[in-house]
């Protein structure tokens, strides 16, 4: 007995969609939810990186706006949606260790 070719094609399409979903769509949705959770919990003193690559410290959170301190008295206002990454304490410790390393050039 030979299976129906249309059924085989339908099963193949469903399998491709399932693989696409579990390898691409689901992880992206999880990452987006994680970032949204971090943005909702954003507070003064958190280290952030914006979509444009600006590194700074949160100085104030006002609803959907965030004041980011980039240098001593310089503060810039960004929308929360412009924040791409909230640094974790482990990231900050690693940056300090790397900054303390001295490269010897011979």
pLDDT tens profile 14-23: 999 999 999 9
Cβ-contact 75, 61 below 8 angstroms: no
pLDDT tens profile 57-93: 999 999 999 999 999 889 999 999 999 999 877 666 6
Predicted pLDDT at 15: 95
DSSP 70: E
Tell me the β-bridge partners of 62.
Answer: 65
- Rama region for 51: left / alpha / beta (φ>0; ψ in -120 to 50; rest): alpha
pTM greater than 0.85 (yes/no):
no
C-alpha–C-alpha distance, residues 24 and 2, integer Å: 34
Predicted pLDDT at 88: 79
Does 2.60.120 match the CATH number of domain 43-106? Answer: no
């Amino acid at each position: 007995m030979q299976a129906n070719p249309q059924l085989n094609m339908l099963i193949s399409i469903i399998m491709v969609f399932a693989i696409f979903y579990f390898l691409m769509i689901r992880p992206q949705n999880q990452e987006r939810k994680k970032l949204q959770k971090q943005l909702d919990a954003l507070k003064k003193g958190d280290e952030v990186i914006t979509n444009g690559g600006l590194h700074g410290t949160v100085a104030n959170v006002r609803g959907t706006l965030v004041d980011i301190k980039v240098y001593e008295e310089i503060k810039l206002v960004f929308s929360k949606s412009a924040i791409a990454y909230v640094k974790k304490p482990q990231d900050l410790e690693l940056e300090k260790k790397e900054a303390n390393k001295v490269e010897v050039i011979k």
